[in-house]
Amino acid sequence: FNQCHIDKGNDKKIPKEYILEIIITGIISIVTMWIKRDFKETPQQIADIISESRSISPIEFLALLNE
């Protein structure tokens, strides 16, 4: 883990443990929000949201907020 990096063709390299932390905390945040919202979405809808969120970049999220 310690020496593994993701290189997307630029100078930004993120160690694997940070990538895993970003993914895990994102999922935890979605589930926490779902609980706080009294389970308004179905488990399948939350699974879809989690799945979709993994393919959207933070920049794309910001653009979605402006729609």
Per-domain residue ranges of the chain: 5-65
Q: Please check the confidence at residue 15 and state whether its pLDDT lies above 80.
A: yes
Mean pLDDT, rounded, for 27-48: 98
CB contact set of 2 (below 8 Å; sequence gap of 6+):
15, 17
* Inter-helix orientation angle 43-53/16-36, to 10°: 150
Handedness of CA 36, 39, 43, 44 (dihedral sign): negative
Mean pLDDT, rounded, for 38-59: 95
pTM above 0.85, yes or no: no
